[in-house]
Structure 1
Amino acid sequence: MGATHDFDKEYWEDQWGPSAAGRDRRLPVNPYLMTEIAHLPVGTVLDAGCGTGTEALWLAEQGWAVTAADISATALAEAKSRAAVADAGEHVDWVETDLSRWEPEQTWDLVVTNYAHAEIGQLPLYQRISSWVAPGGTLLIVAHLHGQHRDVHHGHDHPEAATATLDGITNLFGSPRWRIDSAYEHTRTVHPGGSAMQLRDVIVRVHRLT
């Protein structure tokens, strides 16, 4: 059983802070993001839990108007530094906020979250960010599958509470206002620090009808 974490601001500042020096913080863009949104018209997008900005900057390069939100000021500082040398960096609005408590004043055509964890737990987090999807918009969730505990960004074990199951996520979207377009599990190999590691992922893409 892995250690428990609060996934609060203090936790994430520690994960992105000086003690994290030397860890692999610039993995490639999440491949599910590239695949799952390839057919979508470009519009506004929220990257919920953006970390150091890999996906946010890629989305901006594709022409999306990006809002990138994260609880960690340290992660956002690194993201802004990367954006300063990126051609599309000016198209990203960086927001320091706690997704567990944030009350944004807008909705987005696309909301994406990649392995984000919050104090409230995985399923409540997904339920919460789903309310930020505009009618006719899309929500893409990429999560650690239940039983996958190793965090390739930070090199530590996650507790069970930081993982999710396919049924657990899809059950959130059983109402007539949602259509489930993709829902699957997948195992892939990444190479943090040059060492091969398998990730067991769960991917869900849903469309908001009303």
Structure 2
Amino acid sequence: MQDILGQAIADYQAGQRRTRLWILPSYGPREQMPVRVYFRSPSEMSELEHIALGACTGHILDAGAGAGSHALYLQQQGRKVTALDISPLNCAAMKERGVTDVRKGDLLKWKGRRFDTVLLLMNGIGITGSIQGLKDFLATAPNLLKPGGQLLFDSSDIAYLYEKNPVAGRRYYGEVDYQYSYRGQVSGLFSWLYIDSKRLRKIARATGWHCDELYREDSGQYLMRLTR
């Protein structure tokens, strides 16, 4: 089973909801990931999410769309939205749920049309995997956007995870390795990035972006808009 998250989403969509999805992080013990999160209704979404969805303009690319909950909400609001996900199982689930424009693909390799808004919620910017990956993405991301376009994403400072176990070595503490575990199968290792806002602003400025923090939760999770 290669597409473990996609299989969990497909099973949930099909009514199979007893099996647990786990994430195995490099910073500590395994954690359960409720698959229900990917299917939540607008009333179950956070204030941060609603602010992000309200800030979307024009033709929106919902990148890493998962089961399509954000794309569905935008679509129901009469917005023009394209849902992008690398998982064929996720794409199938979105189509079954009623998302009308679904594309299978990798945001980091996107060569198609440009958008007014690229939306990366649920820490979607983490797909860049590392500080260098983020720099590389921001250097090429203007190719995703129409003139005046915007990137919208959330992230957080996870330094608190290491208060008892300081990070050793030169690696940035927000660069995390994960695996998924589901139905007795374990995925390959993949990297994910959590970026503190101060470091993000510095990297963004160096690559020609302007940052506007639209919202910050008490937990430290924040919503950022990047424009050229």
TM range (shorter): 0.5 to 0.7
Q: For the residues of structure 2 that align with 1:50 and 1:148, how far apart are their CA atoms?
A: 28
Corresponding residue for residue 223 of structure 2? 203
Question: Which sections of structure 1, spanning at least 5 residues, go unmatched?
Answer: 1-8, 84-88, 189-199
Corresponding residue for residue 148 of structure 2? 136
CA 1:79–1:55: 2 relative to 1, 3 Å: same
Q: For the residues of structure 1 that align with 2:218 and 2:71, how far apart are their CA atoms?
A: 23
RMSD, aligned CA: 3.5
Asked if the contact 1:111/1:129 (under 8 Å) is kept, the reply is: no
CA 1:135–1:162: 2 relative to 1, 3 Å: same
Could you tell me how far 1:52 is from its partner in structure 2?
Answer: 0.5
Q: 1:97 and 2:105 equivalent?
A: yes
2:115 to 93, 108, 124: 108
Could you tell me how far 1:48 is from its partner in structure 2?
Answer: 1.0
Corresponding residue for residue 164 of structure 1? 195
Corresponding residue for residue 6 of structure 1? none
Letter in 2 for 1:112: L
Q: For the residues of structure 2 that align with 1:159 and 1:182, how far apart are their CA atoms?
A: 28
CA 1:135–1:177: 2 relative to 1, 3 Å: farther
1:52 to 67, 70, 77: 67
Counterparts of 1:18-97 in structure 2 under 5 Å? 18=8, 21-22=16-17, 23-24=35-36, 25-27=38-40, 28-36=44-52, 38=54, 42-83=57-98, 89-90=99-100, 93-97=101-105
Number of corresponding residues: 173
Counterparts of 1:8-23 in structure 2 under 5 Å? 10=2, 13-18=3-8, 21-22=16-17, 23=35
Structure with bigger helix share is 2
Please give the TM-score of this superposition, normalised by the length of structure 1.
Answer: 0.66
Letter in 2 for 1:15: L
Could you tell me how far 1:122 is from its partner in structure 2?
Answer: 5.1
CA 1:171–1:43: 2 relative to 1, 3 Å: same
SS where residue 38 of structure 1 aligns? helix
Corresponding residue for residue 217 of structure 2? 186
Asked if the contact 2:53/2:74 (under 8 Å) is kept, the reply is: no
Q: For the residues of structure 1 that align with 2:203 and 2:152, how far apart are their CA atoms?
A: 13
SS where residue 174 of structure 1 aligns? helix
Deviations 1:159-190 (A, max 9, x none): 884322112322232169533222664246xx
CA 1:50–1:39: 2 relative to 1, 3 Å: closer
Letter in 1 for 2:89: T
Q: For the residues of structure 1 that align with 2:181 and 2:160, how far apart are their CA atoms?
A: 13
- Higher gyration radius (CA): 2
Could you tell me how far 1:155 is from its partner in structure 2?
Answer: 9.2
Question: Which sections of structure 2, spanning at least 5 residues, go unmatched?
Answer: 18-34, 162-179, 183-188
CA 1:160–1:100: 2 relative to 1, 3 Å: closer
Corresponding residue for residue 204 of structure 2? 173
Asked if the contact 1:169/1:204 (under 8 Å) is kept, the reply is: no
